[in-house]
Structure 1
Amino acid sequence: MSADPASSIPAVDPAGLDGRSGLASSPLGRPAAYTDTYDPTLLCPLPRAPKRAEIGITGTPPFTGADLWTAFELSWLNDRGKPQVALAHFTIPAETPCLIESKSFKLYLNSFNQTRFADAEQVRERLRADLVEALWRSSERTGSVGVRLRLPHEWGAEAVRPLPGLSLDRLDVECTHYQPAPELLRADPEQPPVQEVLTSDLLKSNCLVTGQPDWGSVQIAYSGPPIDQEGLLRYLVSFRQHQEFHEPCVERIFMDIWTRCRPVRLSVYARYTRRGGLDINPWRTSHPQQPPAHARTPRQ
């Protein structure tokens, strides 16, 4: 998902993309007025179901996981009017019926800028309550959202490191596909099963609405028949001209590997470079495990 449209790229009419998606009410791809007074109505939830249906998910997905966000531009006023700043880490479960459109998230966070709060805990609780309401708005049930604020004295603990694993980018492959090509994926069920963690920094897709590039790194951890690494790298490169938000891209990668290569276990984790002071890092897994730590890559 992207935040601000580049002036050189013509915006697509959001209403023409998908009548079910809620994009018609989104600020993405449109001029937006910035308010610095708290306004939770700025949050724009988008249903996950339409994009999941495109990749064959109509019931319960074969994965769980979360969308891990980092907000680098969070500020508010204390009771004396003095500005406060923090980094914010958000953990949004993949089972929420909606995701948050990122430009609306940016506008919402900016609405804290001239609003007074007693302390950081009040800010955290306000963020959590508003996100829970927006993310579960279309559901009869509700759930939790993780919100953690890092104040300036804690910033030294923020980790920066590449995604761990064996880099696929070491392979000298010819790339000819620039739209998702799942036919490039293959595994050899005749070989003994393996357990591998593979990474690439060559993931790139484009914003569904504005066409702006979204740059990312991806980690694929699996156990099962060995996946052909050259084919996997060429498959990841094939997203280069694909237009889709971050979260559906990762779910598409998961589903293509899951159905084509038939691993016993699989997790797909992507960390995208920030835009508008936000980075989005979707993670999907076939089996229960702890979410990855909030450690950003050097490009983030």
Structure 2
Amino acid sequence: MTTPENSLLGKAVPYADQYDASLLYPIARIAKREEIGVPATLPFLGADLWTAYELSWLNARGKPQVALAHITVPCETPNIVESKSFKLYLNSFNNTKFADAAEVQARIRTDISEAVCRGSEAKGTVGVKLIAPELFDREPIHELDGLNLDRLEVKCSQYTPAPELLTAAFDEQPVSEVLTSNLLKSNCLVTGQPDWASVQISYSGPQIDQEGLLKYIVSFRNHNEFHEQCVERIFMDVWTRCKPAKLTVYARYTRRGGLDINPWRTSHPQALPANVRTARQ
């Protein structure tokens, strides 16, 4: 049964010496979505933007090759892939020969696409882009754009999600704002290890009380949940409590095991954000 508790998280495991797609461990999104009131028809669009920093394989002559990988998983897929299994899977490439980078790219796309749709009639395809070493210096670092909430001197006392902290000015003229914070922290659902992130909340509608929003973001500090689930919880809480006409929530989590996961959820069609890392990533 593919539950978080049955995954390899927090367990000592040997690294596979050769390519092994069976290492991928999908976890269904539905249970956590039901917990936070996500209806069957999703109220959001979006994707999980992964960056793999530790990708290597052997060419036909046995010489090691390296690359960065950007992997885009649509949020409509029924499963996420547990991150430690993703790391073990990518490391199984280390001593395996491939004809070229294109073969590696195609293999990752096929395997991840299968994992995120496993057990469902739904079929989806993930996006995979490999960055060759000669292009590494074109990979920028940029902080999330917007007005930073961390400038506010607030008193914080709640460290598990407290949606009641969210309020909005329903009797005033609507606004459009982009707000950010570097103070999002949650913990791994299984191991309890800390996950650090920056978050950007873009919306149009009744003006959200900024102090309350910052305290709400801080309230995730002792919360155990996967990155994707935290962002969907934030989206649903803001969506239902503050009733914006439009809403986008984007978080960039620091890497662990050579991987970062950056969930993006939006109420309306728009282009994906550029997969640009922040300084902490």
Alpha-carbon deviations, 1:1-50, whole Å to 9, x = none? xxxxxxxxxxxxxxxxxxx7622441111111111300000000000000
Specify the alignment match of 1:61 in structure 2: 42
2:2/2:25 contact within 8 Å kept: no
Q: TM-score, normalised by structure 2?
A: 0.99
* Matching residue of 1:125: 106
> Do the aligned partners of 2:49 and 2:73 also contact (CA within 8 Å) in 1?
yes
- Among 177, 190, 202, which residue is 2:183 paired with? 202
* Residue in structure 1 matched with residue 127 of structure 2 by the alignment: 146
TM-score of the superposed pair, with normalisation by structure 1: 0.92
Q: Aligned with 2:168: secondary structure?
A: coil
The answer to whether the 8 A contact 1:197-1:219 is kept is yes
List gaps (5 residues or longer) in structure 1: 1-19
1:47 lines up with 2:28 in the alignment: yes
| The one of 234, 256, 260 aligned to 2:215 | 234
Cα offsets for 1:235-284 (capped at 9, x unmatched)? 00000000101000000000000000000000000000000000000000
Aligned length: 281
| Paired residue type of 1:43 | L
Q: Tell me the equivalent position of 1:79.
A: 60
| Alpha-carbon distance in 1 for matches of 2:38, 2:248 | 17
Question: What is residue 253 of structure 2 aligned with on the other side?
Answer: 272
The corresponding residue for 1:244 is: 225
Match of 1:172 in 2: 153
| Sequence identity percentage | 66
Q: Which amino acid aligns with 1:174?
A: K
Show the counterpart of 2:70.
89
Do 1:49 and 1:58's aligned partners in 2 also have CA atoms closer than 8 Å?
no
What secondary structure sits across from 1:253 in the alignment? helix
Q: Distance in 2 between matches of 1:169 and 1:130?
A: 40
Letter matched to residue 250 of structure 1: V
